[in-house]
Amino acid sequence: MRGLPGLAGSLRRAAATAIGLIYPPTCVGCGAATGDPHALCAACWSGLRLIERPFCERLGTPFALDLGIGALLSPGAIAEPPVYDRARAVAIYEGTARDLVHRLKYNDRLDLARTMARMMAGAGGELLDGADLILPVPLHGLRLWRRRFNQAALLAREIGRLSGKPCDLRALARVKATRPQVGLTRHQRAENLQGAFRVPVGARPRIAGRRLLLIDDVTTTGATGNAAARVLLRGGAASVDLLTFATVTRDGL
């Protein structure tokens, strides 16, 4: 009986090896051959503009030059500080990053959530370390019915699995069917999201005094993150950070 777990593990590895021989791993971005499953090929990696320090400690967007002065804030963060404490992202929203986001959201490539979440867990390690609870930016029920899934929820669940942090899919609700944000100005996006989110009464004890990590696929102007964070803080959260796969740069960088 003691050998059964080891035998089961050996059988699983053998099965995985056999499947790999029949169906060699391919790039999740373009379908080219790769050495590992759920990975990107060299060409797709080169199309990612990964975000590394130096970057704005509030917005998580990169600086053009390393000024070497420790923690820095960008002009955008100083002029319009976000409601959330800190934002982090894997890459700039262009090239491969934009393609992956679009395929996950619009082409039903749900398998991409695993790869993207793994990269997000790495980029947002400092946020995950301090988080008590992970939660996704929710979709309104009508949009969820049309799309059939919430990409932010897929990412949040996978990040929770990778990090061992609890994930709550119902701590924040979207109660207003807002129009799509694409094409709206920063001011219009903020107006569009007024009253869009609510913390259900039953969820308030689950977020009270806790440090929350909000998950979404893209940060554009920060309007969605701000609207969600504002409601969560009013609902009793101690702090809210934001982790996305990609971000649109500010300050012309």
Residue 143 pLDDT: 78
Identify whether 65 is part of a domain: yes
Q: Please indicate, yes or no, if residue 10 is contained in any of the structural domains.
A: yes
What confidence score (pLDDT) does residue 8 get?
A: 56
Q: Do 99 and 129 belong to one domain?
A: yes
Say what the pTM is.
0.86
Residues 40 and 138 in one domain: no
At residue 253, the pLDDT reads 44
Residue 250 is predicted with a pLDDT of 63
Residue 252 in domain: no
6 falls within a domain: yes
Q: Which residue from 223, 199, 194 is spatially nearest to 212, judged by alpha carbons?
A: 199
Average pLDDT over residues 56-66: 85
In a domain, 253, yes or no: no
Domain-embedded: residue 21: yes
Give the pLDDT band of residue 33 (cuts 50, 70, 90): confident
Residues 101 and 177 in one domain: yes
Question: Quick one: three-class SS letters along 15-31?
Answer: HHHHHHHHCCCECCCCC
Identify which of 124, 85, 117, 89 has the alpha carbon closest to the alpha carbon of residue 249: 89
Q: Which residue has the higher pLDDT, 82 or 3?
A: 82
Whether 65 and 140 map to the same domain: the answer is: yes
**What band does 21 get if pLDDT is binned at 50, 70 and 90?**
very low
Output the pLDDT for position 19. 42
Distance of CA 55 to the CA centre of its chain: 18
Residues 31 and 109 in one domain: no
Same domain, 188 and 165: yes
236: CATH: 3.40.50
What band does 252 get if pLDDT is binned at 50, 70 and 90? very low
Of the chain, the percentage scoring pLDDT greater than 70 comes to 83
CA–CA separation, 129 and 90 (whole Å): 17
The mean pLDDT value for 20-44 works out to 77
What distance in Å separates the CA atoms of residue 97 and residue 46, rounded to the nearest whole number?
11
Together in a domain, 171 and 55 = yes
pLDDT value for 63: 83
Mean pLDDT, all residues of the chain: 86
CA 167 from centre of chain = 13
pLDDT band for position 72 (50/70/90)?
confident
Q: Is 117 found in the same domain as 16?
A: no
Cα of first residue to Cα of last residue in the chain, in angstroms, is: 61
Instruction: Please state the domain count of the chain.
Output: 2
Same domain? For 83 and 99 the reply is yes
Question: Does residue 157 sit within a domain?
Answer: yes
DSSP 78: H
Are residues 66 and 173 located together in one domain of the fold?
Answer: yes
- Of 247 and 8, the one with more pLDDT: 247
For 204, the domain range is: 51-247
Is the model's pLDDT at 12 over the cut of 60?
A: no
Give yes or no: residues 40 and 58 share one domain. no
pLDDT band for 247, please (50, 70, 90 cuts): very high
Query: Does 134 have pLDDT greater than 90?
Result: yes
Q: Are residues 21 and 118 in the same domain?
A: no
77, part of any domain:
yes
* Measured distance CA(174)–CA(208) in Å, rounded: 19
